[in-house]
C-alpha cells in the first residue's frame, strides 16, 4: 500500500509540476496581420488627376519657356535697331558738322564773287597798252590775284572752261554759235567764271557753246 501511494504521489507531483511550468512559460503570440484598407473613390480620383496634371504642367512650362525666348529675341532685335539708329543719328550729326565746317564760307563767297567779277571786267575793258593805264592795271591785277589766292585757301576752285567740252553739271550755256573749226558742244567763250567750294558747285560758269554749222 505504501508503494502504491508513493507512485500516486509521484504522479500527482508530476502533474502539479507540469501545471506550474505551463503557468510560468510565456505563450508565444502570432503577429497580427496588418489590415490593408482599400482607397476610396475620391482618393483614386485625386491620384488620377495628379497623374494627368504632371504632363500638363510640363507642357505649360515648356510653352512658357518658348514664349520667354521669343520675347527675349524681340527685345534683342529692338535693342539692335535702337543701337543702329543711334549710330546713324551720330553719323548724320558728324556729317552735318563736317558740312557746316566745309561750307560755312559759302554765303560769304557768294557775296565776294561779284567783286571778283567786277575786277575781271575792269581788266578786260581797260586798255593795258596805254602807258597811262599801266599803274591802274597793275593795281587791279594785284587786287584780283589777292582775292583769288585768298579764296584758294578756303578750297575755292575757279571753273574757267574755255576750249573744253560743255559739261551741264558745271556750265550754263547762254547761247550756241555755229562753228566748224571745233567739235560741237565745245565752250567757245566764258561770260562769267564759275566756282566750286570743296568740290561742290557754288556757281556755274556762263558760257557760249559751239554747234555744227
**What pLDDT digit, counting tens, does each position of 11-65 carry?**
555 555 554 455 545 545 555 454 555 666 676 666 666 555 555 567 778 888 8
At 55 the three-state DSSP class reads: helix
Residue position matching grid coordinates 501545471 = 19
CA-to-CA distance for 88 and 86, rounded, in angstroms?
5
Question: pLDDT tens across 170-192, in order?
Answer: 999 999 999 988 999 999 999 99
Burial class (CB in 10 A: 0-12, 13-18, 19+), 195: buried
Parallel, antiparallel, or unpaired for β 156-159 and 205-211? unpaired
Where along the chain do its domains lie? 63-102, 103-211
Instruction: Judge residue 205's burial from the number of C-beta atoms within 10 Å of its C-beta, 0-12 exposed, 13-18 middle, 19 or more buried.
Output: buried
Q: Which CATH number fits the domain 103-211, given the four candidates 2.30.22.10, 1.20.120.1200, 3.40.50.150, 2.130.10.30?
A: 2.30.22.10
- Contact (CB, 8 A) for 213 and 183: no
Decide: helix, strand or coil at residue 212.
Answer: coil
Q: Write out the three cell numbers for 87.
A: 549710330
Q: Where is mean pLDDT largest: 10-14, 90-94, 167-171?
A: 167-171
The model's confidence at residue 209, banded by pLDDT at 50, 70 and 90, is very high
User: What pLDDT, on the 0 to 100 scale, is given for residue 95?
Assistant: 80
pLDDT value at 1 more than 50:
no
Pair type for strands 156-159 and 194-197: antiparallel
Amino acid at each position: 500500500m505504501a508503494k502504491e501511494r508513493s507512485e500516486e504521489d509521484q504522479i500527482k507531483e508530476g502533474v502539479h509540476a507540469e501545471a506550474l511550468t505551463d503557468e510560468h512559460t510565456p505563450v508565444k503570440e502570432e503577429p497580427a496581420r496588418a489590415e490593408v484598407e482599400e482607397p476610396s473613390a475620391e482618393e483614386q480620383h485625386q491620384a488620377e488627376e495628379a497623374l494627368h496634371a504632371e504632363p500638363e504642367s510640363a507642357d505649360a512650362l515648356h510653352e512658357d519657356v518658348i514664349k520667354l525666348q521669343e520675347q527675349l529675341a524681340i527685345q534683342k532685335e529692338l535693342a539692335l535697331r535702337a543701337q543702329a539708329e543711334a549710330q546713324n543719328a551720330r553719323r548724320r550729326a558728324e556729317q552735318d558738322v563736317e558740312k557746316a565746317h566745309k561750307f560755312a564760307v559759302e554765303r560769304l563767297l557768294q557775296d565776294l564773287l561779284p567783286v571778283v567779277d567786277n575786277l575781271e571786267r575792269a581788266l578786260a575793258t581797260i586798255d593795258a597798252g596805254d602807258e597811262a593805264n599801266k599803274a591802274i592795271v597793275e593795281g587791279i591785277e594785284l587786287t584780283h590775284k589777292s582775292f583769288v589766292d585768298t579764296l584758294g585757301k578756303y578750297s575755292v576752285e575757279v571753273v574757267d572752261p574755255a576750249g573744253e567740252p560743255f559739261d551741264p553739271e558745271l556750265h550754263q550755256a547762254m547761247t550756241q554759235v555755229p562753228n566748224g573749226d571745233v567739235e560741237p558742244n565745245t565752250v567757245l567763250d566764258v561770260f562769267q567764271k564759275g566756282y566750286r567750294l570743296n568740290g561742290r558747285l557754288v556757281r556755274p560758269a556762263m558760257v557760249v557753246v559751239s554747234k555744227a554749222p
